Amino acid sequence: MHGYIKIKNLSMLEINYIQENKTSVIAKLHKRHLYNAADLIENILTINQQRKETQLALDTTSSQVNQLTKQIEQLLQEGKKQEIESIKSQSKVLKASVKELELQLNTYKETLQQKLDELPNLPHDNVPIGKDSTSNEIVYQVESIPEHTAQLIPHWELITTYNIIDFELGNKLTGAGFPVYKGKGARLQRALINFFLDEARKAGYEEIQPPILVNKASAYGTGQLPDKEGQMYELANEPLYLIPTAEVPVTNLYRDQILSKDVLPIRHVAYTPCFRREAGSWGSHVRGLNRLHQFDKVEIVEISLPELSYQALETMRRYVESLVQKLELPYRVLKLCSGDLGFASAFTYDIEVFSVGQNRWLEVSSISNYDTYQANRMQLRYKDNGHNRLLHTLNGSAIALPRIMAALLELNFTEGKIKIPHALTKYTDFEYIS
């Protein structure tokens, strides 16, 4: 663990909100199957009360020290040296108390912050209740799904046959989960990236090219720390992390800012390589391109006024749907249940495409509204009638490439060659892989 990360205000659910809405907070955490929520919240409120009492004692004692200092100054002017010694003795005792109270206060603050950091975001009221992915709600599914037959080949066989992606070379260079794209495979990968970026630009997203290394404050701001610390690659000699998604650097562009309403909404798109350790993953479901340690992704991010954020979420969802439609891939949209919801998310849609060669659905995009959760960590606010209020942040994969590539290769393989979707041919400059 990397310890406590200092921020300006106590978070991660805001302590005042927890105090004022204790019953509701516990109920929503139970919805996430955090069964010890009541004990956690009571513990947090107890620590917060101790923090407040210690702060009051510190303020009172500091005030007494200041009063004695003024008395000493007055007595010096009056030449009453005997009386000064007595007051100096009192002041010395009080100053020692101040130091002790400061240490206690810092301990309470750090403990409280760590406890708050352990709390996930509260799920939106419309999130279905469920323990795991089996309870996710299908919002939409295409009517026609190709029937799986023995002639439909999984992508890991196709990429070997046509020599377009090489896992053995990647393993030689780096390790498992770091493929090498070759020839038409590399060109198809680049075509997908350019297609997704161009479509985002047409939809009104401003392109960003961010760093692929971030510091602790950035990883904390979007909720990767402390929740996903074990999934990130960290540099050995510096406290920097390889990004798991462009969401992290792009959203943090606005950390510690107070924005005016007239610049909202802010909408960005970014292509980056992404890095995830995916520790403990094995089996056929992670074979080939299904799960990698390094992969390419185009990400969309939006910063929104709270009252417009769920409208923005629906717009983002429709936009990502349009991408898989243009690639002519069979897909469905899921509303994630409370047990499958990400740590920082309040509401998430997943978009899955059908893998005909594997006869199963593959997640290619998650589109989430974080409400104020990330904004509170980042102190990302806006001016509203003279008051600083927290904004809402949203993001979505638009799209992660490996599983799109896998589904695309499998679906379009016919008569000994792989047909490139029409939307991509102007980028690839070829229509078939053969």
CA gap 163, 355 in Å, rounded: 20
Q: Which residues pair with 240 in a beta bridge?
A: 215
CA gap 48, 381 in Å, rounded: 24
One-letter amino acid for residue 338 of the chain? S
CA gap 17, 15 in Å, rounded: 5
Is 366 known as a binding-site position? yes
Contacts of 276 (CB under 8 A, 6+ apart): 231, 232, 244, 292, 293
Helices (H), 145-287: 155-161, 167-173, 183-202, 216-221, 247-251
Contacts of 41 (CB under 8 A, 6+ apart): 18, 22, 25, 26, 29
Is 352 known as a binding-site position? no
One-letter amino acid for residue 147 of the chain? E
Is 63 known as a binding-site position? no
Is 276 known as a binding-site position? yes
Tell me the two tokens of residue 133: 């992915």
CA gap 208, 201 in Å, rounded: 11
Is 278 known as a binding-site position? yes
Cα angle 298, 311, 318 (rounded to 5 degrees) comes to: 45
Closest to 40 measured CA to CA, from 130, 120, 125, 148: 120
Q: Which residues pair with 267 in a beta bridge?
A: 302
CA gap 251, 267 in Å, rounded: 10
Helices (H), 79-182: 81-117, 155-161, 167-173
CA gap 181, 187 in Å, rounded: 8
Is 364 known as a binding-site position? yes
Is 299 known as a binding-site position? yes
Is 277 known as a binding-site position? yes
Q: Which residues pair with 215 in a beta bridge?
A: 240
Could you count the other beta carbons within 10 Å of the beta carbon of residue 170? 19
Is 415 known as a binding-site position? no
- Are 434 and 416 in contact by the 8 Å Cβ rule? The answer is yes
Cis peptide before 232 (omega within 30 of 0): no
CA gap 176, 173 in Å, rounded: 9
Cα distances (Å, whole numbers) of residue 109 to 4, 103, 333: 10, 10, 42
Is 395 known as a binding-site position? yes
Annotated binding site for L-serine: 245, 276, 299, 395
Annotated binding site: 245, 276-278, 299, 363-366, 395
Annotated binding site for ATP: 276-278, 363-366
